[in-house]
Amino acid sequence: MNEHHGVARGGAQWRHPKTRETHENRKEEQMAQAHPYMTPPPAPSGSIHVVVDLNRCQAYAQCCFFAPSVFTLHGEEALWYDPEPDASQREHVLRAAAACPVQAIIVQWRDGSEPQINRGAV
């Protein structure tokens, strides 16, 4: 047994705090493992447009989990979202759209075309 790894009570793995990954790195890795199918093609112009059908939205908040910087639930049912998210959020937005159980999220490239979203794979 080296000095940085061991077994804690109950058989759980223990790591020295210096060898732990950050929460954000683990979250990104888990999302990539859970959704390997979602490799978006390059956007025609690099940016996307998001529309949420608020009549269809049932506030399940799956979008808030997958793209928290784009979708935010205020109160129990009020969804706030950024209709023009940064291009760096593209993959997160596509995952959020795929995860929406009522398919209320519509994503479009700047040229008006829609990316292919594998909604049944989430």
Which CATH number covers residue 78?
3.30.70.20
Q: Provide the residue range defining the domain that includes 64.
A: 23-121
- Counting every residue, how long is the chain? 122
Which two three-digit tokens encode residue 19? 């060898």
Alpha helices in the chain (DSSP H): 23-34, 62-66, 90-99
Maximum Cα interatomic distance, the chain, rounded to a whole number of Å: 58
* Domain tally, the chain: 1
Q: What is the pLDDT along the chain (122 residues), one digit of tens a residue?
A: 444 455 445 555 555 444 444 554 565 565 555 554 555 555 445 588 999 999 999 999 999 999 999 999 988 878 999 999 998 999 999 999 999 999 999 999 877 777 777 665 55
Question: What integer pLDDT is reported at residue 46 of this predicted model?
Answer: 59
Question: What integer pLDDT is reported at residue 30 of this predicted model?
Answer: 58
Q: Looking at the domain assignment, is residue 96 inside a domain?
A: yes
Q: Looking at the domain assignment, is residue 10 inside a domain?
A: no
pTM of the model: 0.58
